[in-house]
Chain A
Amino acid sequence: MKNNKLSHRVLQSSITSVLAALLCIVIGMAVGFLVLLAINPAHAWGDGFVRILKGGFYDAPYGVGKMLANAAPLVMTGLSVGFAFKTGLFNIGAAGQYTLGAYGALYCAIMLKLPWFVCLLVAAILGGIWGAIPGFFKAYFNINEVITSIMFNWIGLYLVNELVYQNGTGPMYDVRNTRTLNLGKSADYAQSIIPDFGLNKLFQTNSTTIAIFLAAIVAVLIWVVLNKTTFGYELKAVGLNKSAARYAGINEKKNIILSMAIAGALSGFGAGLFYLSNVGQWNPLNSTSLPAMGFNGISVALLASSNPIGTIFSAIFISHISVGGTFLSTKYYPTEIADLISGIIIYLCAFSMLFRGKIQKMLFKNADKTNVNAEPAPAEKANAKKEGK
């Protein structure tokens, strides 16, 4: 009986979350359309808005393959940020962890010629170490993880650029392309590329691998860890109330560091998925901007209200509109319109709690009002599980 009521409430809150996300998307798209109108009214609909809406399908199957290839690392950085959110931390350092992951994956692939799954593992470990450092500063010096993560984003970027470039003599560096060596160009690296099982043929691309499925599997794993294990429960408890968690006998310092390390590992893994699918190569001469994948992960996580399963869909959506942006004719519009739209969507997500409250009030007027504004109530779900046993 009680369980029934609880699951009903969980269902309600997930419906509200999805509706709130959709509302953010609709408003964001509408503002994007207005911008298109302002720049070039004559082409705003057919050559502008429709192309963004169609995304990869504008040039199927190639565009769809490209969209999936970009979505895989986005799922991972989204999971990284979302996982940290669930444990009460804001991992703005996904970009730096991603950078380190990229280095780990490429070093193992190019220098050590290891098989792809080992490369992925190393990418995750390096990302995890880079995530654990801000966790350490948070746990032992009580420095806000946001500041530390931002610092380590830049330290990571300069460090990796230095390691790869080495004044142009780095063995991983290809002088002609000013990028790291292209994994697809030489048979030496074939074992380091994630297998595609015919996906490349299907989509007529050369970078669509099983990466998206690997990312989806990890998303499910993270969902299980967060919702069905004691370990996940402890991590969330520390996030909800540090002092209460310590009182309950949880080692809160260890858990903060672990949370950040796992979040970092997820980002690093994402970088591995990107570079080992050979979607692109690392450019060590770019020392002024961090990989956008890390920051887009924040959008993905917010849009999914940090739900690991939701992350898969929101990553595909963000990837969908940014691929759509690349199909805009540069004669009429800059491709950054897609970034603009996703920027507006995240800004709206920042107060989606408010939307959620309003929607819930509208839809479920008669439902009990105890939990109107709360997160999808992780603690309650965990409680329900305990009571069930």
Chain B
Amino acid sequence: MLLLIKYTLLYGIVLMLVALGGMFSEHSGIINIALEGIMVIGGVAGVLTLTMLPSSMSPALVVLISILVAALAGVVYSLLLAFASINLKADQTIGGTALNLLATAIAVVIAKYFSDSGSAKLNYSNKAFLFSIGGLELSVFVPLGIVLLVISYIVLYKTRFGLRLRACGEHPQAADSVGINVYKMRYAGVLISGALGAIGGMAYIVPPVQTWNFEVGVAGAGFLAMAVMIFGQWKPFNICAAAMFFAVFKSLANIADSTFLAQFHWSSNIYNMMPFIASMIILAFTSKNSMAPKAEGIPYDKGSR
């Protein structure tokens, strides 16, 4: 049971962080399908930083620096999406897909360049990220994620910035008419999603293992996070609940053999399939009253007001 909680929290926090990122971007009106790629970039940047920092450095500082570097890398990478979809008014889905493909290639090239063996595997120490409370081993990303969740809620619903951001996703023309700079707001939304997505990518890679092969990227976690975001109806706390729901299935895939579920003799493939099937069923039922931002996916053109 403890193991189930551990894995659920570990994976749930990842999905939640990335989905929160997607939420900020979509509330500003940009569909961020590049989350998967942003996770990969954040992961490779964070892991590289980890390998380069001197081992004598204090653990708190290691955690802080590597997470900041990852977030920064995510922001820079998401600039590519922002530029293409806001300034050049390119199709957001196509641009995001291109960035996903590009991210894995970039990560592999970088990882191969820096690894000693010439393969795309990087070794690192994750001790600084782990701590345990009463036998339950957790990563620093769990408290960090909860803090970021609360901050996200406050920013989105209790600040002027949040209100303006949401206005740009619902009706950019109206927002513009009262003097809000739609382009700036959309940039802000995409860049926040870049930072959160990248931290999520690092949270996916670093805590469970000490070596990562970047050829596998993040194995669809970014796409799953998009489903989490839709299932969570673009609201922070709903997203948190949805992320945990998805994470339970994923954890079952990892630990099924050691629980009562072993008697079913299901393979991990079946458990891996479950969150996707569940989200399809839920999407089918909830699509009728979807809370999606109205203007998402539509490039904003000042001239067409």
Residues on A lying within 8 angstroms of B by beta carbon are: 35, 39, 90, 92, 137, 141-143, 146-148, 150-155, 158-159, 161-162, 165, 167, 287-290, 295, 298-299, 302, 330, 334, 336-337, 339-340, 342-344, 346-347, 349-351, 353-354
Complex formed: what's the CA distance from A339 to B40 in Å? 15
Grouping DSSP codes into helix (H, G, I), strand (E, B) and loop, the A interface class, with mixed when no group exceeds half, is helix
B97 touches A346 (CB 8 A): yes
Interface size for B (C-beta < 8 A) is: 48
Residues in B with CB closer than 8 Å to A162 are: 267, 269-270
A274 CA / B17 CA spacing, docked (Å): 39
Q: What residues of A have a CB within 8 angstroms of the CB of B108 in the complex?
A: 334, 336, 339
B262-280, CB under 8 A of A: which get 1 and which 0?
A: 0000011110110011011
In the bound complex, residues from chain B placing their C-beta under 8 Å from that of A287 are 219, 268-269, 272
Please report the C-alpha to C-alpha distance between residue A350 and residue B34 in the assembled complex, in whole angstroms. Answer: 13
Given A302-B94, A347-B95: A159 touches B273 (CB 8 Å cut-off) = yes
Q: Does B61 contact A (CB under 8 A)?
A: no
Within 8 A of A (CB), among B96-149: 97-102, 104-106, 108-109, 112-113, 118, 120
Number of A-B residue pairs at CB separation under 8 A: 135
Interface pair B109/A336, CB less than 8 Å apart? yes
A155 touching B109 by the CB < 8 A rule?
Answer: no
Cβ contacts under 8 Å, B276 to chain A: 151-152, 154-155
Nearest A residue to B217, CB-CB: A289
Q: Are B223 and A154 in contact (CB under 8 A)?
A: yes
Q: B151 near A: Cβ within 8 Å?
A: no
For A354, the chain B residues whose CB sits under 8 A away are: 88-90
Considering the complex, give the chain B residue whose CB is closest to the CB of A336.
B108
Residue of A nearest to B266 (CB): A162
**B59 in the interface (beta carbon within 8 A):** no
**Which of these, A155, A298, A346, contacts B277 with CB under 8 Å?**
A155
- B84 interface hit (Cβ, 8 Å): yes
B interface vs A, CB < 8 Å? 33, 80, 84, 88-91, 93-95, 97-102, 104-106, 108-109, 112-113, 118, 120, 215-217, 219-220, 223, 226-227, 230, 267-270, 272-273, 276-277, 279-280, 283-284, 287-288
Contact A167 B215 (CB under 8 A): no
- Contact A142 B287, CB 8 Å, known A346-B98, A354-B88: yes
Name the CB-closest residue of A to B292: A144
Q: Whole-angstrom distance from the CB of B174 to the nearest CB of chain A?
A: 24
Residue of A nearest to B285 (CB): A141
Residue of A nearest to B112 (CB): A334
Nearest CB to that of B230 among chain A residues?
A: A147
| Cα of A289 to Cα of B33 in the assembled complex, Å | 17
Bound together, the chains give a CA A35 to CA B102 distance in angstroms of 13
